[in-house]
Amino acid sequence: MSQNAASAVISNRYDFAYLFDCKDGNPNGDPDMANTPRFDPETFQGIVSDVCLKRKIRDYIFTLKSQSGQPESGYDIYVLQGNSLESRQCMPFSKLPELKDKAKGNKTERKDIDAARAWMCRQFFDIRAFGAVMSTTDFNCGQVRGPIQVTFARSIDRVMSTEHGITRVAYTTEEKAKSTSAQTEMGNKHTIAYGLYLAHGFVSPHLAQPPKGTGFTQADLDVLWKALANMFDLDHSASRGLMARRGLYIFKHDSLLGNAPANELFELITVSRKAGVESPRSYSDYEITVNKDKLPTGVTLWTIASDGSLVEV
């Protein structure tokens, strides 16, 4: 791809289906339920929130683009652990000469907010992708709706959370360690045996188009696909067990506004248990069917290689 093509703002609509699984882990704990895996109380299907998925995307891209120690230009992350939003929103007011006398408490006009918003979009990948509300501090950078949206992921079948008691031979405090009655300390963790999850995503290029859009480019989109392909490999932990990307099915439209409804495209992908399987315990217990012969005119189906490159199905 040429440099000009990579830097061009996206002009094609995409809809994508994303399959991933979790084995012997907790894919997304619910803080209101003692951090047990999220689930639908009616169907007992497991749930992973869109916020959780976007956190993994952000972390992967920040790591990918910060291998020299500092993030590459345009690939800093706005919602980054350990940083306040205010520390990000104040940046354009110190970087742009026309905004230096408009910071904190001084009157901010619409043109100033627009200039700050445009600067934030240029600097932060996740603002260009997901949008952001940046008007909640004294440094008003406005708000912008992003072209990339992701749904909650839902497991194909029901999941059952199990609580495990765990022990620790080390004590929390010196006082307890010296006590003659000290016993091994106890804790717990929650896991599911196995769950295959399906999320859906949307790329709406009209929300990237200047002057009101975020300026999300083809290069940004390529990085997003690479993150979805590889992000679980940078997010391993004992609590999450084995998590892996199992499928990414990308419907590319040959127009800005699209050539078919997203729901009709998603219905071309069927995920079902193999015959005789009652309690799935691995990805091999499922069968994925893609009815590509029914693709509407103007839509092509792509998947992704581990290097982030797209391959037409």
Q: Hey, how many other C-beta atoms are within 10 angstroms of the C-beta on 11?
A: 13
Please give the pLDDT value at position 222. 95
Please give the pLDDT value at position 304. 86
Please give the pLDDT value at position 306. 66
pLDDT per residue as tens digits for the range 269-284:
999 999 999 999 999 9
Please give the pLDDT value at position 310. 87
Which stretches of the chain score pLDDT less than 70? 1-4, 103-107, 180, 182, 306, 308
pTM, entire model: 0.93
Please give the pLDDT value at position 4. 67
Please give the pLDDT value at position 277. 97
Please give the pLDDT value at position 101. 77
Query: Please, which residues have CB within 8 angstroms of residue 178's CB and are 6 or more apart in sequence?
Result: none
Please give the pLDDT value at position 169. 81
Please give the pLDDT value at position 2. 58
Please give the pLDDT value at position 175. 82
pLDDT per residue as tens digits for the range 204-245:
999 999 999 999 999 999 999 999 999 999 999 999 999 999
Please give the pLDDT value at position 14. 98
Alpha-carbon gap, residue 79 to 57, rounded angstroms: 11
Please give the pLDDT value at position 205. 98
